[in-house]
Amino acid sequence: FTMLQRLRSAIENQEFTLFYQPIINIKQHKLDCVEALLRWPQPDGTMISPEEFIPLAETGGLINDIGIWVINQACVFCARMRAQGFADLRIAVNLSSTQFKDNKILSTIKQALAHSGLPPSALEIELTESLLIEDTDNIQQQLDAISALGVTIAIDDFGTGYSNLGYLRNFNANHLKIDRSFITHLGYNTLDDTLVTAMIKMANSLGLKTIAEGIEDTATLRKLIELGCDGGQGYLWSKPVSAEKLTALLSSDY
Ligand code: G
Ligand code: G
Ligand code: MN
Ligand code: NA
């Protein structure tokens, strides 16, 4: 079997699972949101990373089917957690640009919200900069419609895409996720300090909240709080975990 054939049967047999990583409001010291991250467990107990199979799913015409499953699963999970007492919990889902090509992403999202009963404001979609630059009016229009539902939009891996920031002008984003590569040496590398400071200032002037990715220690967290960053995600709190393991994290202190 080729990898593509295996992916096809993995969709049919519902072999995928979602892991979840907390996103912390670092100003209020509380868990705000969880990012859903796709996993493909193998019979030998290992997991194939989405970095390996998402590109194949995109070129092989399978990303829409996988994406529909992810969005539905994520919305149902978040609605269930909210019903179990985590009433304000939100969930973030990654989308790839290929998912905008057939103009069905808006209806996929609407259906997932209706089916799960999750309020639109509890759903966030994460898009990479390259998707926003790729733009066509077509992607822009679909994003405007998604945003009009009340779903929020985050720009993922910010700073690693292209240097053209023009897209920020006409684009309705809510959150800017500063890529881990700028956060890792924060406090030790003056250039990174300067860049992160500038990114937070720019985001705030544009009315965007910032989330720092890849926070691994308290010194970095303290520095980000000092710089006025709003949110954070990283191994300091938790790596991405299964739904079962997330429950304990939802009730911990931050
Ligand atoms: O979970 P991990 O950090 O290994 O994720 C690796 C990459 O895969 C990240 O860039 C992440 O955005 C991407 N990814 C994870 N889950 C999904 C998904 O459901 N859809 C898409 N399009 N990308 C995903
Ligand atoms: O591209 P995206 O930001 O969606 O992918 C997130 C990826 O970053 C996931 O694969 C996740 O496992 C990884 N990640 C999350 N937090 C940390 C961290 O604190 N350190 C490192 N090295 N990786 C992280
Ligand atoms: Mn992401
Ligand atoms: Na990222």
- pLDDT tens per residue, range 24-83: 999 999 999 999 999 999 999 999 999 999 999 999 999 999 999 999 999 999 999 999
What span, in angstroms and rounded, lies between the C-alpha atoms of 32 and 25?
Answer: 6
| pLDDT digit string, tens, across residues 181-207 | 999 999 999 999 999 999 999 999 999
For residue 40, give every residue at least 6 positions away whose Cβ sits within 8 Å of its Cβ, in sequence order, or none.
10, 15, 16, 17, 47, 48, 50, 53
70 C-beta closer than 6 A to ligand 1: yes
123 confidence band (pLDDT: 50, 70, 90):
very high
Q: Does residue 163 carry a pLDDT above 60? A: no
Averaged pLDDT of the chain: 94
What local confidence, expressed as pLDDT, does residue 1 receive? 81
C-alpha 136 to ligand 4 mean position (Å): 23
Q: Does residue 162 carry a pLDDT above 70? A: no
Where are the chain's structural domains?
3-163+239-250
CB 211 within 8 A of CB 232: yes
Closest of 214, 200, 217 to residue 23, by C-alpha: 214
C-alpha 68 to ligand 1 mean position (Å): 15
What local confidence, expressed as pLDDT, does residue 115 receive? 98
What span, in angstroms and rounded, lies between the C-alpha atoms of 80 and 105?
Answer: 23
For ligand 1, atom 23, name the residue with the nearest CA. Answer: 94
What local confidence, expressed as pLDDT, does residue 122 receive? 99
What local confidence, expressed as pLDDT, does residue 21 receive? 98
Torsion of the alpha carbons at 108, 111, 112 and 116, rounded to the nearest 10:
180
Q: Which CATH class is domain 3-163+239-250?
A: alpha beta
What local confidence, expressed as pLDDT, does residue 135 receive? 60
Structure tokens at 233: 């995600």
Q: Does residue 150 carry a pLDDT above 90? A: yes
For ligand 1, atom 13, name the residue with the nearest CA. Answer: 50
The rounded radius of gyration (Å) of the Cα atoms in the chain is 18
For 46, the 3-state DSSP assignment is: coil
Query: Running DSSP on this structure, what letter comes out for residue 236?
Result: T
What span, in angstroms and rounded, lies between the C-alpha atoms of 250 and 223?
Answer: 24
Q: Does residue 132 carry a pLDDT above 80? A: no
Among 37, 211, 218, 221, the mutation site with the greatest number of ligand 2 atoms within 8 A of its Cβ is 37
Q: If you average pLDDT over residues 176-184, what whole number do you get?
A: 97
